[in-house]
Structure 1
Amino acid sequence: MARFMRHHKEHEPPIGEIPVPHGPDTGNEHEHYPIPPATDYEKEIFKHLTHPDDSYTPEGVYWADLPLSKRFNFVSTVDKAEVSAEWSSIKSMMKEDFLGPLKWYFRHAVLPGAGLGLEGYVLFSIGNLEPLFKKAWPECWDKKAVCSDNWVASVTYLEVIGIMVGQVFVGIIGDWIGRRWGLIQDALIMFIGLLMLTGSWGVTLEGWVICYAWSLFFYGIGVGGEYPITATSSMENAVMAGKLSTRDDRLHRGRKVTMAFLMQGWGQFFNQVLLIILMLIFNRGQGDPPYSARMAQYIFRISFAIPAIGTLWLCYYRTYRMKAAGKQLLKAKKKANVTGYDVKSLKMTVTNFGGRLVATAGGWFCNDVFFYGNKLFQSQFINVLSDNPSSIMTTWTWNLVNVAVSLVGYYAASMLIDNKMYGRKMMQQVGFFMCFLMFVIPAFNYEFYVSPAGVHAFQAMYFLSSFFNQFGPNSVTFLVAGEVFPTQIRASAHGFSACMGKAGALLASVLYNYIDTQTKFYVVPWFGLAGMLMTYLWLPDTTGLDLKEQERRWQYILQGREQDYHGVAIHPKHLSVWERWMGVGKNYYPDMDMKAKIEDIKGEWQEKEASKNESETGVDDLDDGEEFTDDIHNYFRGAPPAQGGLMIKNKEEQKGSESESDK
């Protein structure tokens, strides 16, 4: 395949014929003016903004432009230095406060992911409680003698449909009214839904099932909204600092989002632990049958009441302690002169990034079929391994082990998702392929693997599928579904992709009612291959790409001058195979982009200068995390260099007086 690198000298336009960035040209032609390239002085004073050392070599070469061996060495050097710096910060924190690292983790992972943790707890509880209901009320939940089979099935269907509604609806709300409103609204809906679940009742058993199902639908709306809102707010760092373009964003953006997402796994873990404890308390200190209706009532109502307390606190926290959420969206709308929902950006996203929507929505759809199908293994090997497979405690104990394995996958994903030599796209493809193998192997030798001779291998494949689902598509889809789209419609795109994912879960839940277990194993693996193929063709790899640069390209698209953008956001590394086939990266000219980038930085500088006089408008302090040195200020004002020479300061130098823990 021909290379798509277009920055070689023989392809560059002559110096003095560089297209000047300007407004839309109604004639669809851009004039060319004889402007010189960036001077050595300009390159030097803007170097820390245009060529940060975590992405560029000292010679100014972008990491993805390096040959493979040099790229590996560069990435390894940067990562080692970053690990060393982080360990130093941890040590400094511990010297000042032994619990300092735990406090940092609480602020930067637990709080941003608290909503996902609570919904993971509740949704996992729904699945865990169903076998208990079948034992306590067999005439309704198992034999369907006094309850309609449709209403019992609707418990799952309404839950999933409610989540799908919330994902789309709150995604739009998050882009329309704002991230903070979406965060508060989700917490309130989930709190009310938990009150409904805790107090659900009926004159008859079927009446209770109906009340329970509709309560789950209402709660599901809040759950669905957590996906786009938590992803976008964590990604934009609005929860913590309101900054977007920093070294930390380039090196650790994926980790920050994944650490929030993995709280879902901790929610599942604590739910399973609590249910086991409640079982021992209310079932005579043991987990074996018989199970009384009175005991089941205590367990399920207490299990819902406890997260209701946490969700009430979440309502308070998001209302009074997260007032900065949504700054980046506010800034983007201000720049585009949009006050409501940005319909123009939505249309242009579909036009320009339609392939990315296929990748994020299709990949999530395939993943949720796998996620739902993971349960196919468990009951089969429990029947072979356990002396008492009818015991709910046996099932819950194996569930707890599986959740622990999944948590290992979550954390492994958070550690490698920002590694430039592995990253998002490779992680998702490998995860899909491994899940495919874990299902296709037992599918064609099913009788052996569910026999005593092969059950341990069957069990190992079960846990491996759990690990690679988290260390792969389940973590990556949550991140990239918002990351590859512009700020103005990020929550909407994420919500739509997540909704398509739940459509996969709904398909699986309906389909599995009509086919036997071995046939399920025949069906499920091919979704792994489909997900891997869609990832390869349509998903770009944004590992190491500054979101600020992606937003910069988006501004060019909005203004109708995409051909004038020559930066790294259209580097072949950061484009999908489909986009490269369509010629999107043909205008990648890093040398030409330098001067244009300085002009764009000047526009940001002017905006910041103007915002100093807008403190009463509510849009002040829209900081991007950029460092404008004295020389840059003087350059834009037409003044001589500060102190008679260059005064280049990076963030660490400017804050040298701060302690390591502050940094």
Structure 2
Amino acid sequence: MAHDHKVLDALDAAKTQWYHFTAVVIAGMGFFTDAYDLFSISLVTKLLGRIYYFDPSSRTPGTLPPSVSAAVNGVAFCGTLAGQLFFGWLGDKMGRKKVYGMTLMLMVICCLASGLSFGSTPKAVMATLCFFRFWLGVGIGGDYPLSATIMSEYANKKTRGAFIAAVFAMQGFGNLTGGIVAIIISATLKARFDAPAYKDDPAGSTVSQADYAWRIVLMFGAIPALLTYYWRMKMPETARYTALVAKNAEKATSDMARVLNVELTEQEQQEKAAHQEQERQEEYGLFSRQFAKRHGLHLLGTTVCWFMLDIAYYSQNLFQKDIYAAVNWLPKADTMNALEEMFKISRAQTLVALCGTIPGYWFTVFFIDIIGRFIIQLGGFLFMTAFMLGLSVPYHHWTTPGNHAGFIVMYAFTFFFANFGPNSTTFIVPAEIFPARLRSTCHGISSAAGKAGAIVGSFGFLYAAQSTDPTKTDAGYPPGIGVRNSLFMLAGCNVIGFLFTFLVPESRGKSLEELSGEKDEEAPSPDMQQTMPDN
């Protein structure tokens, strides 16, 4: 577009105001809920095995069969992938605001329904749980492209990266809260219904109380989502969608004047009319040669980087409990009752979230608009590779008594550099570099690729690490070799992500219209020609 978008230029230059922080909280609470719902299942899977797959003839705790464990852990990601693609596309067709409320209500309903999973047999309960977690994932998936796009289109170009990163950083608090809630519930029920260790209690006297524990943990995720529904419905549509997609610059001006301190003249309100026909001719679709020429490599870069990152990130997150058991940081299951095991798993994951996960997110918030997305993503992949190799090469050193603390410190650093790295930047960049009419769709495609990686991680790691029980061997290998090989594979995924980062342009300090080519498609600036080949 050869003309100036004064409405959008004014937004790019607007001072940081209270409404920006309000938008971070409103959008961020969706991600708080997302992380809580996705990762809380890892806190209760061992508990589910002890409740529903306990064999009275055996004096050992019950465990979920591998296929059931994979389904319970991975089904939400299948729903998330579907939700990212569908709601990402719908956000560009119907508008960000209209679709925003749908995803949140779906999350609330399915959170509650997951905790009410029913059935007369263990298989029926697990099937019901998987059904509701799939649809929970659909709602979570819709939140990814919509929250990222809304925040990118509200923010000014100077602090846009920090605001989008702050929305995503709420995942860390959701992860932490999941652990804290599980700790409180397990400790409360254990104190009230204390029972001896499992080996002295083959009948499993804590099962009736433990059945309440996992249900309460899963249902708690509905509370933050429900609290933010009203405020999401009060948010106006973003000016960029209204002006560039809905073709209503006057409404875009009035909406932004209502929430931001931006002065715009009548001439600026009517600027779209004279160029409407030109814009119609310049628009191109997702599957056009023009899109492939301008943004094809960018989309390839964002999808592959997110895919590789999520294989590593979700494998680590969902199966922390197995890794802790493999290095003997957690006691053997038959020395604890069901609630005590849940308490110790939750405590371990909360400690890692507090020391590694949350600091990484907020380092990104503080530094992303200073050193840029590109450097943070490259550095994150590089250090994740280094620390995973540092865990896997001397793996048997870390599993010997006395070295467990060192393993946990190294393991926490992989989470730190995932979040002060590609886990944040892969979310931010797709919300910045694509045209407004395709922004939500392209973010949905990129994030869906990530969830495909999460599915590979959640199903693949489960089978690759079957020998996480130090008392067992797998195909003649030493105990724990499955975890070691898995860490090698995850390091390889990080190397691929590192290489594909070079396809993704740096977006720091540029307006969304500069990055997408919407501001001046006929004569792109020299800087744009350098950072975005084929423009």
Shift of 1:180: 0.5
The counterpart of 2:433, out of the listed 484, 505, 513, is 484
Q: CA deviation at 1:352?
A: 1.4
* d(CA) in 2 for partners of 1:500, 1:303: 28
1:451 is aligned to 400
Match of 2:82 in 1: 165
Deviations 1:257-315 (A, max 9, x none): 11111111111111211111111111125798557222222222222333323323333
Matches within 5 A, 1:425-574: 425-452=374-401, 454-515=403-464, 516-536=482-502, 538-551=503-516, 553-554=517-518, 556-557=520-521, 561=522, 564-566=523-525, 568-570=527-529, 572=530, 574=531
C-alpha separation in 1, matches of 2:65 and 2:330: 33
Structure 1 residues 457 and 198 mapped into 2: Cα distance closer, same or farther (>3 Å)?
Answer: closer
**Could you tell me how far 1:398 is from its partner in structure 2?**
1.3
Match of residue 622 from structure 1:
none
* Preserved CA contact (<8 Å) 1:378 1:462: no
The 1:529–1:145 alpha-carbon spacing in structure 2 relative to 1, beyond 3 Å, is closer
Percent identity between the aligned chains? 24
Which protein has the larger Cα radius of gyration, Structure 1 or Structure 2? Answer: 1
Alignment of 1:215-294 (within 5 A): 215-237=132-154, 249-284=156-191, 289-290=197-198, 292-294=206-208
Native 8 Å contact 1:155 1:209 kept in 2: yes
SS in 2 for 1:193: helix
- Alignment-derived partner of residue 12 in structure 1: none
Match of 2:53 in 1: 138
Cα distance, 1:127 vs. partner?
Answer: 1.3
The answer to whether the aligner puts 1:372 opposite 2:314 as a matched pair is yes
Relative to structure 1, the CA distance from residue 514 to residue 409 in structure 2 (aligned partners, 3 Å threshold; closer, same or farther) is same
Change in Cα spacing, 1:454 to 1:145, as seen in structure 2 (3 Å) is: closer
Render the CA deviation track for 1:390-444: whole Å, top value 9, x for unaligned: 333222111011111211110101000001xx21000000000000011122322
Q: In 1, are the aligned partners of 2:114 and 2:133 still within 8 Å (CA)? A: yes
State how far apart, in whole Å, the 1-side matches of 2:100 and 2:196 are.
41
**1:491 Cα deviation from its structure 2 partner:** 0.6
Contact 1:175–1:492 (Cα < 8 Å) also in 2: yes
Rounded to whole Å, the distance in 2 between the matches of 1:144 and 1:275 is 20
Alignment of 1:296 onto 2:237: no
- 1:408/1:146 CA distance change after superposition, 3 Å: closer
Label 1:254 to 1:393 Cα distance change in 2 as closer, same or farther (>3 A): same
Whichever residue aligns with residue 330 of structure 1, its letter is: T
- Which of 384, 409, 416 matches 2:367? 416
Q: Give the match's secondary structure for 1:540.
A: coil
What's the C-alpha RMSD, in Å, of the aligned pairs?
Answer: 3.2
Distance 2:488 2:65 in 1: 30
1:251 is paired with a residue whose SS is coil
Q: Which amino acid aligns with 2:358?
A: L
Distance 1:179 1:441, change over 3 A: same
* Among candidates 241, 244, 269, match of residue 329 of structure 1: 241
Superimposed CA distance per residue, residues 75-114 of structure 1 (whole angstroms, 9 cap, x where no aligned partner)? xxxxxxxxxx99xx9xxxxxxxxxxxxx879624322211
Match of 1:400 in 2: 350
Q: Distance in 2 between matches of 1:219 and 1:144?
A: 29
Question: Displacement, 1:191?
Answer: 1.6
Q: Which amino acid aligns with 1:226?
A: D
Counterpart Cα distance in 2 of 1:451 and 1:370: 25
CA distance in 1, matches of 2:243, 2:195: 55
Contact 1:349 1:485 in 2 (8 A): no
Q: 1:106–1:554: structure 2 CA closer, same or farther, 3 Å change rule?
A: closer
Q: Equivalent residue of 2:80, what SS?
A: helix
2:331 corresponds in structure 1 to 388
Report SS of the residue matched to 2:87: helix
Greater share of helix residues, 1 or 2? 2
Q: Within the alignment, does 1:121 sit opposite 2:36 as a pair?
A: yes
Partner of 1:307: 221
Q: Distance in 2 between matches of 1:377 and 1:280?
A: 20
Q: 1:361 aligns to what SS in structure 2?
A: helix
Kindly indicate whether structure 1 or structure 2 has the higher relative contact order, using CA contacts under 8 Å at least 6 residues apart: 2
Contact residue 366 and residue 530 of structure 1 kept, 8 A: yes
CA shift, 1:452, in A, is: 2.6
What is the letter of the counterpart of residue 153 of structure 2? Answer: E
2:27 is paired with a residue whose SS is coil
How many residues of Structure 1 are paired with residues of Structure 2 in the alignment?
A: 462
- SS of 2:420's partner is helix
Match of 1:565, SS?
coil
Q: Letter of the aligned partner of 2:141 in structure 1?
A: G
Q: Find the partner of 2:297 among 344, 348, 355.
A: 355
Structure 1 residues 108 and 384: CA distance shift in structure 2, 3 A? same
**CA–CA distance in structure 2, aligned partners of residues 284 and 145 of structure 1:** 22
- Please state whether the residue corresponding to 2:385 is helix, strand or coil: helix
**Is the 1:367–1:501 Cα contact (8 Å) retained in structure 2?**
yes
Contact 2:435/2:513, CA 8 A, preserved across alignment: no
CA contact 1:280–1:287 (8 Å) conserved in 2: no
Verify: 1:344 aligned to 2:310, yes or no.
no
> Cα distance 1:287–1:314, how it changes in 2: closer, same or farther (>3 A)?
farther
User: What secondary structure, in the 3-state scheme, does the structure 2 residue paired with 1:236 have?
Assistant: helix
**Counterparts of 2:432 and 2:291, CA distance in 1:** 13
Cα deviation 1:631-652 (Å, max 9, x = unaligned) = xxxxxxxxxxxxxxxxxxxxxx
Distance 2:161 2:64 in 1: 46
Are the aligned partners of 2:327 and 2:398 in contact in 1 as well (CA < 8 Å)? Answer: no
Offset of residue 389 of structure 1: 4.6
